[in-house]
């Protein structure tokens, strides 16, 4: 087996193949994207049913959280962003939200994401894409594109948005985040969202079943396990909460409950 093999990812064929439901394309389908095949749509629709439609609102709330958190980090003076598991380019990509002059590296291991991202995202100055597996932080931290765009002496925002639930415990997800944290200067931000198994245990178990046949397995975590990703970061207000509760703005927090938890932390 090559270095990239693990129980959580099949192989590159599974990632690009039309017959295997692909986690990036399923997510994009829920967001209204067009880059998907029948197998992606079938699995995505199964999860729409299991979640009683909640997933459709959930992915939008997840993107909205990403936008608010990136703006908050930018307002705090962060000018560089490493978006790990960035997904297919969509609306309000990080460099669009962070504003002119922001430096952004998008990272994803999916070859389909890579071809779209290279075409769309990497046209702007100071914006790059690296096709890599985030389970190998050293490769990303040492990558020439990352080294060219990111100054590790300056605060950096690390985004792990809706991706770590695709990294199984055997791959040491907390160590992965810690490796990126240790490379980041004080004042760096962690922006994270993650599916939790606490809110809807049965629906989540059924959803995990659907992902058994997909390009990567899904594993929701407990609140405690998700909180542990913030080790070495000071959790910003309002803490680790549902996506409608995180700095909701003028509209106020909605009463809806979702399976995801979101949060931002600052490295002291």
Residues that bind ligand SAM in the complex, under the rule CB under 6 A: 23-24, 27, 62-63, 66, 85-87, 108-110, 113, 133-135, 161-163, 166-167, 216
Contacts of 148 (CB under 8 A, 6+ apart): 128
Find out whether 163 and 83 touch, Cβ atoms under 8 Å.
no
Find out whether 246 and 67 touch, Cβ atoms under 8 Å.
no
CA–CA distance, 138 with 120 (Å, rounded to integer): 26
Identify which of residues 16 and 235 has a Cβ nearer to ligand SAM in the complex. 16
Identify which of residues 122 and 268 has a Cβ nearer to ligand SAM in the complex. 122
Identify which of residues 63 and 95 has a Cβ nearer to ligand SAM in the complex. 63
Q: Kindly state the smallest distance separating residue 92's Cβ from ligand SAM, in Å.
A: 9
Q: Kindly state the smallest distance separating residue 118's Cβ from ligand SAM, in Å.
A: 14
Q: Kindly state the smallest distance separating residue 203's Cβ from ligand SAM, in Å.
A: 17
Farthest CA pair distance, the chain? 52
Which residues are 216's β-sheet partners? 9
Q: Kindly state the smallest distance separating residue 165's Cβ from ligand SAM, in Å.
A: 8
Identify which of residues 47 and 255 has a Cβ nearer to ligand SAM in the complex. 47
The radius of gyration of the chain's CA atoms, rounded to the nearest angstrom, is: 17
Cα angle at 65 between 60 and 70, to 5 degrees? 130
């Amino acid at each position: 087996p090559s270095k990239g093999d693990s129980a959580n990812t099949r192989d590159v064929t599974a990632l690009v193949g039309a017959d295997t439901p692909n986690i990036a394309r399923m997510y994009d389908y829920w967001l209204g994207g067009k880059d998907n095949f029948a197998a992606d749509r079938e699995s995505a629709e199964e999860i729409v049913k299991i979640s009683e439609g909640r997933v459709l609102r959930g992915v939008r709330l997840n993107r909205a959280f990403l936008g608010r958190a990136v703006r908050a980090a930018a307002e705090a003076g962060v000018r560089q962003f490493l978006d790990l598991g960035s997904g297919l380019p969509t609306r309000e990509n990080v460099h669009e939200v962070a504003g002119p002059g922001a430096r952004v590296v998008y990272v994803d291991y999916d070859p389909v994401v890579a071809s779209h991202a290279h075409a769309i995202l990497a046209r702007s100055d100071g914006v790059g894409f690296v096709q890599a597996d985030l389970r190998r932080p050293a490769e990303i931290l040492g990558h020439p594109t990352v080294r060219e765009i990111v100054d590790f002496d300056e605060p950096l925002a690390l985004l792990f948005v809706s991706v770590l639930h695709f990294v199984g415990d055997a791959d040491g997800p907390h160590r992965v985040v810690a490796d990126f944290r240790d490379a980041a200067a004080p004042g760096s931000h962690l922006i994270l969202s993650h599916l939790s198994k606490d809110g809807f245990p049965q629906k989540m178990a059924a959803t995990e079943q659907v992902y058994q046949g997909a390009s990567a397995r899904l594993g929701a975590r407990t609140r405690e396990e998700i909180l542990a990703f913030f080790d070495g970061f000071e959790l910003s207000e309002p803490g680790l909460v549902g996506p409608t509760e995180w700095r909701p703005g003028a509209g106020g927090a909605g009463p809806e409950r979702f399976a995801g938890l979101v949060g931002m932390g600052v490295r002291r």
